[in-house]
Structure 1
Amino acid sequence: MAQSLYTRLVADCLFPLHERLKGHKSVQLRKALEESQWFTRDVLQTRCNTQLQHFLTDVNASNPYYADQFRACGLSPSSFGDPEILLRIPCLTKELIRANRDRLLSHSDQPVRFMKTSGSSGQPLEFAVGRARISHDIAAKWRATRWWGLDIGDPEAVIWGSDIELGAQGLARQIRDRLIRSRLFPAKHLQGDALMALFDRLQAYQPAMIYGYPSILSLLAEAARQQKRHYNAGPLKVIFCTAEKLYDHQRQLIEDVFKAPVANGYGSRDAGFIAHECPQGRLHISAEDIIVEILDDQQNPVAAGTPGEIVVTHMATRAFPMIRYRTGDIGILSTEPCACGRQLPVLTDVIGRANDLLRATDGAPVHGAYIGNIVREDAAVAQFQFIQHNPRQFELKLVCRDGAQPNQSGLRAKLLDVVGGDAEIAIQHTAAIAVEQNGKFKYIVNRCRENPSLAGATEQSP
């Protein structure tokens, strides 16, 4: 891995010193992860079972909420060695976290940091993280960065719009980011000239990696393509996409314009950094500290290759345990080995994020991926947004290519097949669609989720 002397200084000295001062163990963890990723699956599974047993034992002794849960389920420390133990523990939901936040805090001398989700799927969720969880997340992201021949200290452009991150840019954070050559490019209010101004700033900065929302990066790429602007990739080696569903058309567009591969990442602020894409195109789960289950509507495990809800147990969350946490996202597990040689389990696909979920008029779940596939079949459509206002009323906003006319009747008919023949779909043409407050562009908007009193049949959880 050929790197500059400055990158080596940052990765080997400055960043490890920063992490030590913060009380984080990310350096040791990253080194351990880079060894364990090559272990056989049997060895990984054995280590995972042992780690889970220790985790549950610690949680039972220190956490009021789970001590009661385990007791109610007839579980004791002697039970925790059972490889199927998780199936005997109830799932954790956002609603349960809100109702039991204080009791989910473990008794410990270790400091915790309270965090909130952005609330993009409705009400923000407040939870706590300890130093162990932060260290594991940093180590997992760091390992994935190194898969691509890069390291902390290589120039990084972060295109982000969440008020949580933008509001955290204090002086100390700014100094740290300058030292490690990570530059934040706010993703708010990006339309028209602002998009091309960002394109020019990225071109001038010449990052080795870009990290951001796929929706914003694809909007930026589309704007550059329309204006026939060419990106001089220079040192750019990879574009990391996260926080949203990455669609195939977005990946292709971003790669075409920026002349660099896209690497998908799956995770969330509440669940942690769950999976990362390797250069061979497979999404590897950070299985050393995260257990991923795929469950059906009755919360039973599904066979590999079958879609279901992604449920996560993060074993570095002793301070605020996340055991069998329901993400609301839909994914598929694979049993096929990856050509990269790493034995970490693979998510074949994250079909849809919880934020993309709509409900048909009969209450059946509809993921935004299906809507997107229908609308993007029409070559006249440059951009769209599909909104569910209530259980029966939907709206399709369209931005069309110059001089092009979409097949409105065909679009409406296909969409009605998905959301219900008795639905009403209004189609509106517009010159532009604004990004959200958090800087993301939402293809799918569920007003029922944002306003539960409107939900009716859509109140069911996925």
Structure 2
Amino acid sequence: MIPHIEKQSLDEIKAFQELKLQEVLQYVNANSVYYKNLFQENNIDLSKINTLEDLQLIPTTTKEEIQKNNDDFLCVPTHKIIDFATTSGTLGDPVTFGLTDNDLDRLAYNEAISFDCAGIKEGDIVQLMTTMDRRFMAGLAYFLGLRKMKVGVIRVGAGIPELQWDSILKYKPTYLITVPSFLLKLIEYADSHGIDYNNLGIKGAICIGESLRNQDFTNSILADKIASKWNIKLFSTYASTEMSTAFTECEHGVGGHHHPELIIVEVLDDENKPVKEGESGELTITTIGVEAMPLIRFKTGDIVKLHTNACMCGRKTLRVGPVVGRKQQMIKYKGTTLYPPAMNEVLNDFDNIENYLIQIYNNDLGTDEIVVKIVVKNPSEGFLAEVKDHFRAKLRVAPRIELVSKEVLNPIVFNPMNRKPTRFIDLRK
């Protein structure tokens, strides 16, 4: 089910996208108050934007601009909106994304070709361990995509290992969709209840919200911990509400595949210029085929690297590597630049750490300060020193580390109102 365009050369894909770009620019100019004003205020002649490189003539769009002008991005009347999804806003209030009937069809197609990357086929059964409510787009997208593929879906939702295992034993799914750290909780429950999870026919798990790979595509510590116990294939997928598009790994695990029919991607530096090939920068996207709220040069806030060598699966599209970190979560600590995912990796190295939370705030000098709160299974006198030494070895610096009880930390990390575990809280002003 690999779409024809994904097997074409990069030059052919670029030519295809340049035709689509002209269509989407004309569409937003005619229907989006925000983009029509943006083009007028910046004296942008759309007839001169013919190549992907010409996109640099258009200013970027940020989440703050969507939040301040939410309704002006809408290209259809409200009565055409079928689904209302929201994403957290940087200024406090959530940002609303409306989807038309056509947008939901596009979302289903995106997930169908993405899940196909991961090997899901008609006849499989998938256990969905993420929420479909609370205006969350991803759970709905997964369901629509699997339905389009004629794949069975068990909608269990998030959490509750006992209920998950009850469904697995009863309905025998072949794939799971989950936050990967939750797989460790399932393993722990199964081990203590005598469940032989390696002989239940589960082929793989599509994992969201947490990284499975290092920048060189070797397994992260989290992925290794899961793989050491459970013989299933792990697939990483990256998406966001704003993109309405996913980048999902194939069986070769070398980055999330780009769907050129659905999205144009750029990777930009701090001056909004394209980075050199092989360098990391902020993923910036232009959606294709979105009817209600298309976005032009939207800065996702995620720092990534693109990979353009052909994949062994037959797709010739570029691939998005593991997210290095969120741009706004970058920490300057004692002369070292850090992102939370790198600290997660250090903490995941310790089986004795049951749970953790990273907090960052401004100290009296106005510089970044880090405190890591950890729940430890078997506390010992030298354990904190061991953790600090490991931080120094891996990241060259060691934050302040505090022991706390799981009664204090678990409700914060596993807040039922949040869509995935909260591992990082930024208290900087």
2:246 pairs with 1:270: no
Alignment correspondent of 1:332: 305
What is the CA deviation profile of residues 134-181 of structure 1, one whole-angstrom value per residue up to 9, with x for unaligned ones?
322211211232344433563211001464268999xxx9xx89x963
Whole-Å separation in 2 of the counterparts to 1:265 and 1:350: 11
Return 93-102 or 129-138, whichever deviates more.
129-138
Return 71-80 or 113-122, whichever deviates more.
113-122
Displacement after TM superposition at 1:124 (Å): 2.1
Q: Is the 8 A contact 2:128 2:156 kept in 1?
A: yes
Whole-Å separation in 2 of the counterparts to 1:365 and 1:316: 38
2:50 pairs with 1:81: yes
Return 139-148 or 84-93, whichever deviates more.
139-148
Q: Secondary structure at the match of 1:98?
A: helix
- From 234, 239, 251, give the equivalent of 2:200: 234
Displacement after TM superposition at 1:367 (Å): 1.5
2:295 pairs with 1:319: no
2:287 pairs with 1:287: no
2:66 pairs with 1:97: yes
Q: 1:424 to 1:146 in 2, by over 3 A?
A: closer
What is the CA deviation profile of residues 232-273 of structure 1, one whole-angstrom value per residue up to 9, with x for unaligned ones?
443322211124434522323334444220111110122222
- From 344, 350, 353, give the equivalent of 2:323: 350
Displacement after TM superposition at 1:114 (Å): 5.5
Matched to 1:308, the amino acid is G
Whole-Å separation in 2 of the counterparts to 1:76 and 1:350: 34
Whole-Å separation in 2 of the counterparts to 1:232 and 1:439: 30
Q: 1:262 to 1:85 in 2, by over 3 A?
A: same
Alignment correspondent of 2:216: none
2:376 pairs with 1:400: yes
Q: Could you tell me the TM-score, scaled by structure 1's length?
A: 0.76
Matched to 2:74, the amino acid is L
Displacement after TM superposition at 1:96 (Å): 0.4
Q: Is the 8 A contact 2:86 2:135 kept in 1?
A: no
Whole-Å separation in 2 of the counterparts to 1:424 and 1:145: 39
Q: 1:222 to 1:330 in 2, by over 3 A?
A: farther
Q: 1:117 to 1:410 in 2, by over 3 A?
A: farther
Q: Secondary structure at the match of 1:338?
A: coil
Q: Is the 8 A contact 1:380 1:406 kept in 2?
A: no
Whole-Å separation in 2 of the counterparts to 1:363 and 1:101: 38
Q: Could you tell me the TM-score, scaled by structure 2's length?
A: 0.81
Alignment correspondent of 2:94: 124
- From 13, 18, 29, give the equivalent of 1:49: 18
2:129 pairs with 1:159: yes
- Identity over aligned pairs, percent: 22
Q: 1:161 to 1:254 in 2, by over 3 A?
A: farther
Displacement after TM superposition at 1:376 (Å): 3.3
2:408 pairs with 1:437: no
Q: Secondary structure at the match of 2:276?
A: coil
Displacement after TM superposition at 1:199 (Å): 2.9
Alignment correspondent of 1:253: 225
Alignment correspondent of 1:182: 153
Displacement after TM superposition at 1:40 (Å): 1.9
Alignment correspondent of 1:367: 339
Q: Is the 8 A contact 1:314 1:322 kept in 2?
A: yes
- From 187, 212, 215, give the equivalent of 2:181: 215
Alignment correspondent of 2:387: 411
Alignment correspondent of 1:27: none
What is the CA deviation profile of residues 35-61 of structure 1, one whole-angstrom value per residue up to 9, with x for unaligned ones?
222122221111011111121122222
Q: Is the 8 A contact 1:166 1:186 kept in 2?
A: no
Displacement after TM superposition at 1:202 (Å): 2.1
Q: Secondary structure at the match of 1:164?
A: coil
What is the CA deviation profile of residues 401-460 of structure 1, one whole-angstrom value per residue up to 9, with x for unaligned ones?
446666313534665899998x97351242463412245553622142xxxxxx33xxxx
Q: Secondary structure at the match of 2:400?
A: strand
Q: 1:144 to 1:55 in 2, by over 3 A?
A: same
Q: 1:297 to 1:353 in 2, by over 3 A?
A: same
Q: Secondary structure at the match of 1:47?
A: helix
Whole-Å separation in 1 of the counterparts to 2:260 and 2:417: 30
Q: 1:285 to 1:186 in 2, by over 3 A?
A: same
Q: Secondary structure at the match of 1:299?
A: coil
Q: Is the 8 A contact 1:399 1:430 kept in 2?
A: yes
Displacement after TM superposition at 1:299 (Å): 1.7
